[in-house]
Amino acid sequence: MTIEILEEKHDLAIAGLAIFSAIHIVQFVTRFIQERRYWHHSRCRSIGWCFTYSWWGMIGMWAQFRIASSVLMISYRDPPKPILIAETVLQGIGLSFLIFEVSLVLLRSGQSGRTGPGNSRHPTDLRFTLHFFRFPTIISIVLILVGRTIGIRACTIVGIVTFILAFALVWCVVLGMAVRSKKFLSATGYRAVLVILASLPFLTIRVVLFLLAEDDPRKYNGVIGGVKTVVGARVWVEIIAAMVMIVARTVAEPLWMALPETTLF
């Protein structure tokens, strides 16, 4: 079964292609500078590795998934079912990258003002939690997408419950850090936590729309849903959340701050 993509959605896809491409360029440039300056990885620093971590960062992956989704929408005005499934998967998996970026920026806030691997100010249990919540997030999104695609309701329900619990954990962790981490984080690191906290309301709206698509896909689904819903909520809250996260990472690792002596390339 196929559906006709409205002309408005075609125009939206073209606009999205331009916007997400611009975001990808911005995040790549800023991330490359940050990797070159701060380099918190255990392997030896090089131009190639800086490029790899910058191009395939979470915001970069999110932007690339959104670009691919826009290209599919532009290419198929009357898409067959496999294309609709592909677009739905791209929309769902793309959301997980934004949630992963919350984890990574919060981890980086503990290293703010420092260079080299390790050197985190975060307690061990907090670092474990920041790594941990990525796993139930991606597993639950995959369960939801699989359940929707092949029509297994139980799979979808398990995925939704797991996803809600995982996202609730994200809120609890960020709120806890906003209240308690000021005493052990640097000023820039703590400000990065507050900026991430500011992104969560937008991310929450996106999560709610993702879950509502299960009950009313004609209205809330990013592929076959109403144009006004897609433009007014799903697309713009994602863009705002992604831009705020880029700002948060830049606050944690300023592009202009003087660094202590460190080994360069």
Q: What is the DSSP string of 118-174?
A: ----S-HHHHHHHHHTHHHHHHHHHHHHHHHHHT-HHHHHHHHHHHHHHHHHHHHHH
- Long-range CB contacts (within 8 A, 24+) of 3-10: 3/78, 3/79, 3/84, 3/224, 4/77, 4/78, 5/73, 5/76, 5/77, 5/78, 5/79, 6/227, 8/227, 9/73, 9/227, 9/230, 10/73, 10/74, 10/77
Which range has the worst mean pLDDT, 151-155, 231-235, 241-245? 231-235
User: What mean pLDDT is reported for the chain?
Assistant: 85
Q: What is the pLDDT of residue 219?
A: 61
Residue 122 binned pLDDT confidence (cut-offs 50, 70, 90): very high
CA distance 216 to 226: 11
- Checking if the pLDDT of 3 tops 70, the result is no
Q: Which residue has the tokens 């979470």?
A: 58
Q: pLDDT tens across 57-73, in order? A: 999 999 999 998 888 88
Q: What is the pLDDT of residue 261?
A: 45
Q: pLDDT tens across 22-57, in order? A: 999 999 999 999 999 999 888 889 999 999 999 999
Q: pLDDT tens across 217-230, in order? A: 556 555 555 555 55
Q: Which residue has the higher pLDDT, 215 or 103?
A: 103
Q: What's the length of the chain?
A: 265
Share of residues in the chain with pLDDT > 70 (%): 85
Distance of CA 33 to the CA centre of its chain: 20
Q: What angle do CA 6, 10, 12 make, to 5 degrees?
A: 110
Q: Where are the domains of the chain?
A: 7-114+121-252
Domain 7-114+121-252, CATH: 1.20.1070
Q: What are phi and psi of 226, to 5 degrees?
A: -65, 145
H or E element in which residue 67 lies: helix 58-75
Residue 2 binned pLDDT confidence (cut-offs 50, 70, 90): very low
Which residues contact residue 132 at a Cβ distance below 8 angstroms, ignoring those fewer than 6 apart? none
Which residues contact residue 151 at a Cβ distance below 8 angstroms, ignoring those fewer than 6 apart? none
Residue 21 binned pLDDT confidence (cut-offs 50, 70, 90): very high
Q: Which residue has the higher pLDDT, 221 or 199?
A: 199
